[in-house]
Amino acid sequence: MNYNPITALAIFFGICLLLYFAFRPKKGIYFLLKSMYKQKDKVIIEDILKFLYHNQLSNNSITTIGLTNSLNFSNSLIIESLKKMMDNELIVLEKDSYKLTPNGNEYAFQIIRAHRLWEKYLSEKTGFHKEEWHERAEDKEHELSESEINKLSDLLGNPRFDPHGDPIPTSKGKMKSKRGVSLSSLKENDIGQIIHIEDEPDIIYKQILAENIHLYSTIRVIENNHTRVVFHSEGEQFVLAPIVAGNITISVSEKNETLEENIARLSSLKIDEQAKIVGLSKECRGESRRRLLDLGFVKGATVAIDLLNPLGDPKAYYIKGTAIALRKDQASKILINRIE
């Protein structure tokens, strides 16, 4: 059989290249085609509703220009949708800016409920990384019907907060409110608890994630000026740019009763040290959290390092009579109090 192996290789790599362009994540032709088939107008209408709702909360008035600038759709599509929405009495135009009608408000609530529930679902019942939750929920929120949303809520045990600390509206529109201030507005030596980490914009959220900052951990501000915000939390020091710190919401403790200094992460425990477990960080979720509790990593349990690893990680911890190996990222979500 005669053929040219170089041609064969060229054809092979050609096919590989084609497959790559067809199926590469997000930008592949396959995914583009798939998104084209979605109900576009429903997505636009719901995105406009969400946008108006969030801006109404912060008392911004939104004009047509404001909408076309902020949303990632073509101007003609947006204007067309706005017309439809006014016809259906979801929004009204007051002095050049759009307002939600009670109907529109209720609709917006449903979408936010769907979004936050889906994020909660992803965090509890799947293994997706937290970087992906928001984006996946952005897609899913348009697909869930009301009965599906209620079923989902039941399945999750009707949670009150999503994994970022945002309240989830109930089916009747009840929502736990949360008060807090931005981390960038705190003064030196202020103590408080992180109650919310904003997941938008993506770039800043990823920076916060990279720092390994945990929701609901207690912090103490060391330094705050226009160049940087420095704070202590769980035995570690964090340095953030003010713009990043602005996306973290803190509930400031009135009395300085929480002794932040005594709390550390289990990952910082050294050999021959002993500690009592204070609790699990809220960042430890779903099945992993339940598993750790089952294994005895509960408040009040005594823990020490049993074995180090030739490769550094995982370490085996001695707890309630047994050696249990945990990886570093798990150990960093267990909070301890060192025993001197």
Q: What's the closest the beta carbon of residue 115 comes to other proteins, in angstroms?
A: 18
C-beta of 102 vs 157, nearer to other proteins: 157
Q: What's the closest the beta carbon of residue 312 comes to other proteins, in angstroms?
A: 7
Q: Both tokens of residue 200?
A: 């938008």
C-beta of 127 vs 201, nearer to other proteins: 127
C-beta of 88 vs 158, nearer to other proteins: 158
C-beta of 75 vs 322, nearer to other proteins: 322
DSSP lists the bridge partners of residue 223 as 230
Q: What's the closest the beta carbon of residue 161 comes to other proteins, in angstroms?
A: 7
Q: What's the closest the beta carbon of residue 191 comes to other proteins, in angstroms?
A: 22
In our burial notation (b when 16+ CB lie closer than 10 A, e otherwise), range 315-324 reads: bebebeeeeb
C-beta of 242 vs 314, nearer to other proteins: 314
Q: What's the closest the beta carbon of residue 109 comes to other proteins, in angstroms?
A: 17
What does the chain come to in residues?
A: 340
Residues that bind other proteins (CB under 8 A): 1, 3, 5-6, 8-9, 12, 125-129, 154-161, 170, 279-280, 286-296, 298-301, 306-314, 316, 318, 320-327, 330
C-beta of 4 vs 59, nearer to other proteins: 4
C-beta of 251 vs 288, nearer to other proteins: 288
C-beta of 102 vs 127, nearer to other proteins: 127
Q: What's the closest the beta carbon of residue 314 comes to other proteins, in angstroms?
A: 5
CA distance 203 to 201: 6
